[in-house]
Amino acid sequence: DGGITQSPKYLFRKEGQNVTLSCEQNLNHDAMYWYRQDPGQGLRLIYYSQIVNDFQKGDIAEGYSVSREKKESFPLTVTSAQKNPTAFYLCASSISGAIQPQHFGDGTRLSIL
């Protein structure tokens, strides 16, 4: 079945540590997105990529980095510069320029140890 796989489901970060969240899709979508969700709030865009080897900052990119070396993969690194990383992180994908809605993964819950 086609879909988006995020791993791990739960992740714990120690002080000063970088951690990487994985996002893989087999939907053949061009565009991929990372969102952060805090309790009781909507989703905020961290980074997005519409083609391989290209990505743009979203509204809250500080303290995060991404890469897009393959169409299927869009990993997100939460760096030590992100002082408040505890949140639910959602990855999404879509056909670039299409009207179909973005398709979401099951999310990764990141907490600080």
Partner 1 sequence: ELKVEQNPLFLSMQEGKNYTIYCNYSTTSDRLYWYRQDPGKSLESLFVLLSNGAVKQEGRLMASLDTKARLSTLHITAAVHDLSATYFCAVDMNNNQGGKLIFGQGTELSVKP
Which residues bind to partner 1, rule: CB under 8 A?
31, 33, 35, 40-45, 48, 50, 58, 88, 90, 92, 94-107, 109
In contact, 96 and 41? CB cutoff 8 Å: no
- Nearest CB to partner 1, comparing residues 18 and 26: 26
Q: Cβ 4 to partner 1, closest distance in Å?
A: 9
Identify the DSSP state of 9: S
Q: Is 102 exposed, middle or buried (0-12, 13-18, 19+ CB in 10 A)?
A: middle
d(CA 41, CA 43): 7
In contact, 78 and 18? CB cutoff 8 Å: yes
- Nearest CB to partner 1, comparing residues 81 and 98: 98
- Nearest CB to partner 1, comparing residues 31 and 80: 31
Q: Cβ 83 to partner 1, closest distance in Å?
A: 23
- Nearest CB to partner 1, comparing residues 85 and 105: 105
Q: Cβ 55 to partner 1, closest distance in Å?
A: 12
48: part of which helix (H) or strand (E)?
strand 43-51
